[in-house]
Structure 1
Amino acid sequence: MAANQHHDAQLLVVDDDPRIRQMLTRYFEDEGYGVVCAADGAEMRSRLRQRNFDVILLDLVLPGGADGLDLAREIRAQSDVPIMMLTGRDDVVDRIVGLEIGADDYIAKPFHLREVHARLKSILRRRQPQARPAEPPVEEVVGFEDWKLNLSRRQLLDPEGREVELTTGEFEMLTAFVRHAGRVLTREVLMDLTRGRSLEAFDRTIDAQIVRLRRKIETDPKRPQFIKAVRGVGYVFTAKLD
């Protein structure tokens, strides 16, 4: 084991292929992670009842009647644990649906283990709280139209003060918008701001993320007042900042 790279993060690998499970287990255990495996949805549920995980690596095609998309919906309904979808079906529609239901990333088989690791570390970095300094930090809070986005706590409060749960991707997207309010952002710029790396340039990935975010902050998602589309260009955040 590479002792200098111990991470303590706990991973759940859900894949029906024993070779994939073995490969991921060996690689990530050597990198210092704790790894638990499941071959199908039933086994996944059992593992989730037994302990908490930092990231779930979830295959799209699984036996037992429930595929990876079904299981991702089930997980997201109960938890905001990051989900990385691993699949041999490199289909744009599958990617969009996966991201729309709350997956944090999507990588097609065959994959390079180092790329999976890099994406995994990126997810963990985005969720890791900042080290607490000696002096109490000043929280960074941005208000818009009576909403409050606490960038320090990664928390969103609606106008009634109720917390609205956001996935990692949704929080990063809203943060990008409030930091660039009034500026038209192309899909490429949004991809860069929310992912911090270059992805395959299919525009509908960003569109799916925005659809999900609108459902949580817009009074009428079909007639958005905060996140507006600019035909042929991208999106603009038009809410007035407090």
Structure 2
Amino acid sequence: MTEQSPGTDGDEEETPATEAAQEPAPSADTPAEQDAPEGPTGDDAAEPPASDDAGSTPGESADAGGPTPGVPDEETLDVPEDVATYDRFKKMDGAQYERVNEFLRDRTYITAREWAIARLCSDFRTETGVEMTKIGENLPELVPFMTDTYTPQAVNQARAAFEDKIRTAGATFLYGAMCDFFTAEELDDVMYESTEVAKFLLEVEGVDLSVEEELEAEERISSVMREVREASAELREDEDTE
């Protein structure tokens, strides 16, 4: 539907009779005002009308071969069922990779890529191994903030990087706890902060933790850390006596 020129609709003000009498009547060679070329004028003429995905302009029929609303296209039909129903990261809809990566970088050693792929490798593990190809080919459908597909080798590389960082971070933390650098109270603060970050990531993944489960996890961690401190203290005493 073409746009009419401004001032040609029925809402324009009527011209006073005296002024209308002074204006020359249009001759046969002069087109009447209503016969002026249609279409946007002025500032509106600078921009062409936007077109939709089917290539039609707004207001035109969308029956020109475009996708029919409510009917899945061929790409959707090719997505495996377990991929289409996967909603682990549904709370991250609309999130950008850079923002997620920045949050993780400030609080952990892992990247957003390593975090997402490590979780996917856990969820798509089978008796014969991890479905690397399925994860890589459907990565944008599985994780909202991932926009590119990955090769199986890239998926395996990210998973290996995640595992290496966890082991390195674990060794670093245990050394800090055992070397008597932190007091017991300071170590409790470190554990509390680490637990809060871990719980937040689990909640973002869609894991619903009850209060009882949180308390149980914190008690298990505290129990392990008490054993670490006691063993470390005994080790240092044995070294001093020698």
TM range (shorter): under 0.3
TM-score (normalised: structure 2): 0.22
Compare the two structures and name the one with the higher helix fraction: 2
- The structure having more radius of gyration, on CA atoms, is 2
Q: With a CA cutoff of 8 Å and minimum separation of 6, indicate the structure with the bigger relative contact order.
A: 2
TM-score (normalised: structure 1): 0.22
